[in-house]
Amino acid sequence: MSWRRLIGSEAGVESAPVDFLIAGVQKGGTFSLYRLLERHPQVSLSKTKEVHFFDDEVNVDWSSPSYNRYHRNFPHRSEGKVRGEATPIYIYWPGALERIRAYNPNIKLVLLLRDPIERAYSAWCHQRRKGRETLSFSAAIREGRERVTDTKGFGNRHFSYVERGFYEAQLRHALDLLPAANVLLLDSRKLSRDPGSLVVQAARFLGLDAPNGSVEPIHANRRAALEGSDSAEADDVALLADLFAGDVAALAKRVDFSLEHWPVSRLAKGAASAGEVALRLVKPGI
């Protein structure tokens, strides 16, 4: 059975599947990449950045899903264009990748990777700004982890600061489901340091022409300093570094860019102290 017949269609709804997903990681710069790709003349993106279809546990019957509601989020396909969206929870949410493969086994995933300590703190700041998080960072990465035991519950969706940082395990799961050639790993630091080469990498991966002219960085969702006294402490950083060290070491063997600049790696080699990393974390950033 072809994917066209499998997906089905109805009047006014296009049945051709979406070509690619920016599937993670949360607080890794996915919104900035979405905005950069939005400028590419051969890319057609969803009307809103995060569609949250494949992690929807309420509105979709996953025993017999209809994709018509999903496709309404996208413009009709234009000749020579690829369609995509960016929902960073897809790489992490239980069952999402299986649903994505069932939807389109030829889909391409783009993953932006960021140091997991920085990511955890940035995600905590995000939830504080949203008014969801009441725990200090120190408590959130310790006893607060009890809130994520329901893997499809509210806590795992919003408070999984530590759990989302085990990238190698998530990547391994993705590669069990999709061909390695369909998964692109990108260094999130390039969003600010060399966005042009990042867009070229993404365009090549998607089978598109390289963009013309220079590519200026976009700092979407840049984090402002929090109000109040809560901050990351040296023992928080040390705890996270111990938790993530093994996963990052395994991840380093899978990516084609260096992870030596990541605080986890620098701490493991004694090139930085936990106190230094903690002070840097509280500075405004993405």
Domains of the chain, earliest start first: 3-225 (3.40.50.300)
Residue 221 pLDDT level (bands cut at 50, 70, 90): low
Task: Output the CA–CA distances (angstroms, integers) from residue 118 to 121, 171, 190, 205, 249, in the order listed.
Answer: 5, 19, 16, 27, 17
Determine the average pLDDT of the residues in 218-224: 63
Determine the average pLDDT of the residues in 189-197: 92
170 within 8 A of 24, measured Cβ to Cβ: yes
Buried b vs exposed e over 201-213: b needs ≥16 C-beta within 10 Å?
bbbebbebeebee
pLDDT of residue 222: 60
Residue 2: is its pLDDT beyond 60? no
The terminus-to-terminus CA distance of the chain in angstroms comes to 44
DSSP class of residue 210?
Answer: P
Residue 233 pLDDT level (bands cut at 50, 70, 90): very high
Residue 158: is its pLDDT beyond 60? yes
Beta strands 82-86 and 20-24 are parallel
Question: In whole angstroms, what is the distance from residue 110 CA to residue 37 CA?
Answer: 12
201-210 per-position pLDDT tens digit: 999 999 999 8
Secondary structure class of 187 (helix, strand, coil): strand
248-264 per-position pLDDT tens digit: 999 999 999 999 999 99
pLDDT of residue 283: 77
pLDDT of residue 3: 46
pLDDT of residue 126: 93
* pLDDT averaged over every residue in the chain: 91
110 within 8 A of 33, measured Cβ to Cβ: yes
pTM for the whole structure: 0.91
Residue 229: is its pLDDT beyond 80? no
32-42 per-position pLDDT tens digit: 999 999 999 99
Residues 6+ apart with CB under 8 A from 207: 82
212 within 8 A of 198, measured Cβ to Cβ: no
Residue 132 pLDDT level (bands cut at 50, 70, 90): very high
Residue 214 pLDDT level (bands cut at 50, 70, 90): confident
Residue 7 pLDDT level (bands cut at 50, 70, 90): very low
pLDDT of residue 151: 95
